Protein backbone atom coordinates (compact mmCIF):
# COMPACT_ATOMS: atom_id res chain seq x y z
CA UNK A 1 0.00 0.00 0.00
CA UNK A 2 2.84 2.38 0.69
CA UNK A 3 3.99 2.28 -2.95
CA UNK A 4 0.54 3.55 -4.00
CA UNK A 5 0.87 6.56 -1.70
CA UNK A 6 4.52 7.46 -2.39
CA UNK A 7 5.45 5.91 0.95
CA UNK A 8 3.01 8.04 2.97
CA UNK A 9 0.43 5.38 3.83
CA UNK A 10 -3.33 5.83 4.05
CA UNK A 11 -5.37 7.92 6.47
CA UNK A 12 -8.25 5.52 7.09
CA UNK A 13 -8.57 1.77 6.58
CA UNK A 14 -11.85 -0.09 6.98
CA UNK A 15 -11.06 -3.74 7.68
CA UNK A 16 -13.92 -6.24 7.63
CA UNK A 17 -11.68 -9.32 7.48
CA UNK A 18 -9.58 -9.23 10.65
CA UNK A 19 -6.90 -11.77 11.40
CA UNK A 20 -3.58 -11.25 9.63
CA UNK A 21 -5.25 -8.64 7.39
CA UNK A 22 -5.78 -6.45 10.46
CA UNK A 23 -2.11 -6.73 11.41
CA UNK A 24 -0.97 -5.90 7.86
CA UNK A 25 -3.34 -2.94 7.72
CA UNK A 26 -1.51 -1.26 10.60
CA UNK A 27 1.65 -1.20 8.48
CA UNK A 28 -0.27 0.54 5.66
CA UNK A 29 -1.46 3.44 7.85
CA UNK A 30 -0.09 6.95 7.46
CA UNK A 31 1.10 8.94 10.46
CA UNK A 32 -1.97 9.59 12.67
CA UNK A 33 -4.01 7.17 10.55
CA UNK A 34 -7.08 5.30 11.79
CA UNK A 35 -7.85 1.62 11.36
CA UNK A 36 -11.52 0.70 11.78
CA UNK A 37 -12.16 -2.99 12.41
CA UNK A 38 -15.70 -4.11 11.55
CA UNK A 39 -16.41 -7.70 12.46
CA UNK A 40 -13.92 -10.51 12.68
CA UNK A 41 -14.23 -12.78 9.66
CA UNK A 42 -10.61 -13.97 10.07
CA UNK A 43 -10.39 -14.72 13.77
CA UNK A 44 -6.90 -16.22 13.80
CA UNK A 45 -3.68 -14.22 13.74
CA UNK A 46 -4.95 -10.83 14.83
CA UNK A 47 -2.51 -10.24 17.67
CA UNK A 48 -1.95 -6.49 17.55
CA UNK A 49 1.00 -5.01 19.43
CA UNK A 50 0.14 -1.63 20.93
CA UNK A 51 3.61 -0.31 20.01
CA UNK A 52 2.77 -0.82 16.32
CA UNK A 53 0.01 1.76 16.75
CA UNK A 54 1.78 4.11 19.15
CA UNK A 55 4.92 4.65 17.09
CA UNK A 56 2.95 6.51 14.39
CA UNK A 57 0.22 7.90 16.65
CA UNK A 58 -2.32 5.64 14.95
CA UNK A 59 -5.75 4.73 16.25
CA UNK A 60 -7.59 1.40 16.18
CA UNK A 61 -11.36 1.56 16.48
CA UNK A 62 -13.61 -1.47 16.73
CA UNK A 63 -17.19 -1.49 15.50
CA UNK A 64 -19.48 -4.29 16.65
CA UNK A 65 -23.26 -4.20 16.25
CA UNK A 66 -23.79 -6.54 19.21
CA UNK A 67 -22.06 -4.10 21.55
CA UNK A 68 -24.03 -1.17 20.16
CA UNK A 69 -27.29 -3.07 20.70
CA UNK A 70 -26.41 -3.54 24.36
CA UNK A 71 -25.22 0.01 24.98
CA UNK A 72 -27.53 1.99 22.67
CA UNK A 73 -30.54 -0.20 22.02
CA UNK A 74 -33.09 2.55 21.22
CA UNK A 75 -30.81 4.28 18.69
CA UNK A 76 -29.68 1.07 16.98
CA UNK A 77 -33.19 -0.41 16.97
CA UNK A 78 -34.52 2.72 15.24
CA UNK A 79 -31.64 2.70 12.75
CA UNK A 80 -32.36 -0.92 11.81
CA UNK A 81 -36.10 -0.22 11.54
CA UNK A 82 -35.36 2.70 9.20
CA UNK A 83 -33.17 0.49 7.02
CA UNK A 84 -35.91 -2.16 6.79
CA UNK A 85 -38.40 0.53 5.69
CA UNK A 86 -35.96 1.74 3.03
CA UNK A 87 -35.43 -1.80 1.73
CA UNK A 88 -39.21 -2.34 1.59
CA UNK A 89 -39.62 0.96 -0.31
CA UNK A 90 -36.99 -0.08 -2.85
CA UNK A 91 -34.53 2.65 -1.83
CA UNK A 92 -31.95 0.07 -0.76
CA UNK A 93 -31.33 -3.35 -2.24
CA UNK A 94 -30.09 -6.39 -0.36
CA UNK A 95 -27.77 -8.47 -2.54
CA UNK A 96 -28.77 -12.15 -2.35
CA UNK A 97 -25.90 -14.44 -3.32
CA UNK A 98 -27.66 -17.80 -3.00
CA UNK A 99 -30.72 -19.42 -1.48
CA UNK A 100 -30.77 -22.87 0.09
CA UNK A 101 -33.78 -24.94 1.17
CA UNK A 102 -33.93 -25.62 4.91
CA UNK A 103 -33.09 -29.28 4.24
CA UNK A 104 -29.69 -28.06 2.97
CA UNK A 105 -28.93 -25.80 5.95
CA UNK A 106 -25.59 -27.51 6.55
CA UNK A 107 -24.55 -26.76 2.94
CA UNK A 108 -25.66 -23.13 3.38
CA UNK A 109 -23.50 -22.76 6.50
CA UNK A 110 -20.56 -24.41 4.76
CA UNK A 111 -20.96 -21.98 1.85
CA UNK A 112 -20.93 -18.96 4.18
CA UNK A 113 -17.91 -20.32 6.05
CA UNK A 114 -16.07 -20.83 2.75
CA UNK A 115 -15.96 -17.01 2.40
CA UNK A 116 -17.16 -17.34 -1.24
CA UNK A 117 -20.49 -15.59 -0.71
CA UNK A 118 -20.93 -12.09 -2.10
CA UNK A 119 -24.07 -10.79 -0.44
CA UNK A 120 -26.54 -12.58 1.78
CA UNK A 121 -27.15 -16.31 1.91
CA UNK A 122 -30.82 -17.18 2.52
CA UNK A 123 -32.31 -20.36 3.92
CA UNK A 124 -35.91 -20.93 2.84
CA UNK A 125 -38.52 -23.24 4.42
Same domain, 27 and 81: no
Domain boundary among 65, 86, 110: 65
Strands (E), 26-104: 29-38, 59-63, 96-101
**Reported pTM:** 0.67
When mean pLDDT is compared over 1-5, 20-24, 32-36, the highest value belongs to 32-36
How many structural domains is the chain composed of?
2
pLDDT tens digits for range 76-92: 999 999 999 999 999 99
- Which residues form the domain of 31? 2-65
| Segment 32-54, tens digit of pLDDT | 999 999 876 655 667 788 888 99
Amino acid sequence: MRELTDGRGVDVILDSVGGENLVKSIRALAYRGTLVSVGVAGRAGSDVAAMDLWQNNNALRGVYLGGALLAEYPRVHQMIADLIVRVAAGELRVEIDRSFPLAEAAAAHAYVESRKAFGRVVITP
